[in-house]
Each structure stands twice: as structure tokens, then as C-alpha cells.
Structure 1
């Protein structure tokens, strides 16, 4: 069934304009039409709340949307009477939702809130000499001086050909900082792979010492450590050390609890006079306030899905979901009331560039919550 068969535009507009209430023969909306109706109602509510100067520019917006729609040959071009402003806005609102990303361009051209994916909020690398550069292809010569190359979005360090002979030699440290809304991967000189998530910082030497391999993490990262029994790999956190030989695990230091999720191998968690070992499938926890170590079996995908560009929550609170989306999409969430924070949702979907798809997934799975998006601000409201 093609898009034209799935969506009956006249029927949709009838529901939007409220003309179906006294029509006993009015057709019910199918799933696709109902979804667009809900989105269009939210759209029109936002349009009414906006300053008139910032409302949807119907004439220019419709011309652009109509042109794009014609190019995609999804529907026949509909000639509109622009004097019927409300009807035109309703159609434009529906089509804008179908034809994203034109939507944001015309909804609010003068939006003062700028996305962090633009400007100076890029991934930065601080070199051994203290110089800081953006992680991009134009810095190839600078990266080469550190023994590194950039392959797509992956930073790769030159492989060790032999161990350093001088144990006391000063290490050349690099610091990788990933802002909210970003994500990257690197390959260290020993072959260890590291995925570094949004809002995180990783410090590491360009070449490890002969005795051990040490890095420092703030935030969240996934490690696939190259096995070397003679040189333990240690991840230093502010209040905890994670020691491994060769294994795959994820660490998150966000919040009051440090989580270490072990997928393969064996690791030890050490702090003060406490230490525990983790086996595959186990989740290590360190409570920063109580200063206590513990472990449990857990669904590790909740802690590792981000590495595979998936969004996964299993019966998580909306507050927990918002906290992750806030980092990974550089958003600022606010809740109309605290009760909304405690709503529980399960989500399993590929990560997309458009966070509205995730928010709509949550919205349509419940009749309790709605989202109002303004730039990078998201207001969570009672529905």
C-alpha cells in the first residue's frame, strides 16, 4: 500500500477542523492517519502559543513543501486557496511532519536556541604539548605528529612495534573530550578499541608504558581491551579503578552510581579496601555516597546499546530516559510536575538523528505524557 492509499488528506482535515463530530458517517482514522492527527494537533497548539511574527510562514513554507513533495512524487500537487489560512496551516503542518527536515526551517526561523552540534561544540583533542584541536580531517598533519590518523570518525594511533625500554620515561598524554550530542571511537596504540559517549572525557598516552596500560575516564565509554597478560589495563575513575587483562565492558560514571557492565572476560573493581570481581553478564555498582561496591546479574544491553547506536530502555523511568537523551542529543528537559518523572517506559529502537521519533514513540505508548520541543529545550507535560 503506497502513501496515498494510507493517508486520506480530506478525512484528516475533517478531523483536524472538528467537522467529524456531527457526521455520523465519518470514517475512522487508520493508524497512520491517527498518528499524523495527534502530531498536527500538537503543531497547531504550538502555533497558537507562538508570537505571531514567529508563526509558520504559510506562503513560503507551503511553496517549499509543495515543491519537495512534487519531487518525491508521493502525492499529486494540491492547489490551495491561501485565503483559507487555517486549512492551509493544517495541511502544511501535516506535510511538514512527513517531509522533515523542512519542518524546523519554517516553523521557527528566528529560534534563538542554537543546537550544540554547530559552532564550537565539537569533539576536541588536547595534545601532549597542550594544544587543543577539533577532531576533523583538516587536522591530519597535527594528528600525525601525535602518531595518529583519522579514519572517518575513528581516531587510530600507530601500533606499538616494541615495548618502551625506559620504564620511567615520561608518557605523552592526549585528552579526548566529547560534548553532549556527539559520539566517537578510537583505537589505542596497543590495539584496544574505545567508544566514547556524549559528555565524556578520556585521558590516555599515545604509547603505553612497558609495565601497564592506564587511562582515565570521566563519563561513559565502552572498552574492548587487547589481551596482554603481562601488561594489565587499568581504567582510573575518580573514586574507582577497573583492572582488566583482555575483555569487553562498559563504564558509566554519570549519576550517584558508577556502573560497570561486563560482556566478556573478567575485571576487578577496586576502591580503598574493597574489591570485587565481575564475570560476563554481571553488573558492578559503586555507590558514590555510600562508598559501597556491589554486583548483580543484569540486562547489560541497557548499559551497552548506545555503543551500537541503539536506544534501549527496559521499564525505565522517564527521568532516567530524559537524562540519557539530554546528553546524547544535547537537550534540556523540564518536567511540568514530578509525577511525570516516575512514569515507566520500554524502548528498543535504532538511534536516529531526529529525537522527535523517540519522543513520539514514548508519547503514543501512553496517554499520560506530551512533549513540547523548542530548539533544544523539551518540556514534558501532562497529557
Structure 2
């Protein structure tokens, strides 16, 4: 009974920490404003300061002129067109144009609630949706998870969401996507697993400590990068089953973390500050000392080949009376060299 209560409390605490947070009044940092993003920047969703970025060339934080959202997004990803995907309002996944700062929700089926659901992006642009259950219990040797656990694929072309075959009592905590689309899941009861999205077949990461290993990401050469308090940050080669310690020891309050295209690890360590860890040598560089009212909730490094999406062309709709066709719709677009105003057919 005591053991059951301990595990239930651990799962409840994990769920609470993963739940969306509402924005609270605070004194944000007084930051200069950047004009936009550039390759190499660290994009940060901050609890107190909204959208900000860290420029590693100047070691400077900048505010981004984008609308502040209710609560800081916990998920960030770069879409195939260069837009920023994020878990926005409590029940939506949004796409943001970094040129304009405007965002709009994606449109999965209305019958699929996204409250508390996280996502990872697959190489083809589809989204892997996952949510850990909010309840669990132990009955003898049998674990039972709650009924609200989600693990599904969102096909954005068709707008459909398809459940992925998973075993009973499956509680996904974190997901990382490999270079070639391999899917790694940090599952509460089984530890880190690699899962086949077609069959649901899983193979376990050999040294995962159940409930204590964090899944950080995947390096450019497809190595899995994990962290736990005992082993520190470890790189695992799935082809050879060999673990290599990148940095031994624990990180104090290390959240969030991001792995860039070079395999280096960016982390906000609560005891030191914003830190860069070399993925090959484990060498640590302090980028920004610990600062009050700096509380990143999610981070992502803008890759070197990133190109922002185009600015949508301003469009004005007007109704006019045609002597021949009656009421018609006229679409006016901004005039540019070599282009004229266009009129839709009556």
C-alpha cells in the first residue's frame, strides 16, 4: 500500500509539473528589442518575459516584438516552412510567422481535445501528439493508467488524428525524434523506449532508470542523448548499444534543455544560469549568469539552414456593384513593381 501511494504521488507530481501554467504578474527584464530571428539564435519561451531570444554572438538577451500569450508555451518546433510551432492556448497548437509575429492555431479535428497534450514534429511535418495520464494505481503486480493518456499521429495534410498502437498502462512523458524519423519515448513505467509507429513494438534503452531519466534529444549522427542524476548527460549509440558520458554529475534544476544541430546541449541550470555543454567533450561554457525573472519554459536553437516564411501579401476585400454582373467581390492586393490590382470574376 505504501509503495502504491509513493508511485501515485510521484506520477501526480510529474503530471502537475507538466500541466500548463497561467501567466502571473511579475517584473520582467528590461531587454532591448530585436528585429527578428537569425540562424544560431536560441529562441526562448519565458514565463516572465514572453518571447525572447539569446544571441550567442553578443551573449545578449533580446525581447521579440511578438504578442504575449497566456502562459508560456512548453513545446517549440520549427515547421517545414520555417514557421514556429508551439503549444499555445490551453487547447491548441499554433503556428507563428517570425517575420510578423502573428500566429494562428492548427486545425485538428474538433472532436480531439488538445488540453494538456504535447507534441513533437516528425520529419515529414506531421505531429506526434502525446499526453501522460493524470492518474495511475497499482493492484498487486498490475499497473493501470488513467483513461486520458494520448499517443497519436496528426496527419496535417488530411487533418486526421490516428491513435498509435501502444500497450496497456502506457504513460508517455517525453518524446524525441531521430534524424530518420525514429521515435524515442520516455515512458513512466518502462523508461526510455524506441517505438515503431506502425506496430507499436518497443525496444528499451538499456540503462534507463525508470522514472528518473530525462530524454533530451537526438544528435545529428542519430545518437540518443539522455540525462539522469546518477549518470549525468549520456550519449547512446543505438547501433552499437554503447553509452558515452558527455558530462558526469547532476544539474540543479536543469530545465528546459535543447540539443542543436551540432549535438551541443543548451540548458538553463538553476544554480549557474544559461549554459552550453559541448556534446563531444562535455566542456561547459556559462553564457548568462543566473538572473532573477528569467524563467525559460521551452528553448530551441535556430538551425543554420533556416529560412523564415514569407510575409503574407496584404489583401483587402471589397464589395462593388457591377453594371453587368450585379454584386461582385473585388480582391485588392498591394501594388508592387510589375503587378497590378486584380479583380475576381463576378
Higher helix share: 1
Query: Quick one: higher RCO (CA 8 Å, sep 6+), 1 or 2?
Result: 2
Higher strand share: 2
Structure with max Cα Rg = 1
- Does TM-score exceed 0.5, indicating one fold? no
TM-score normalised by L of structure 1: 0.27
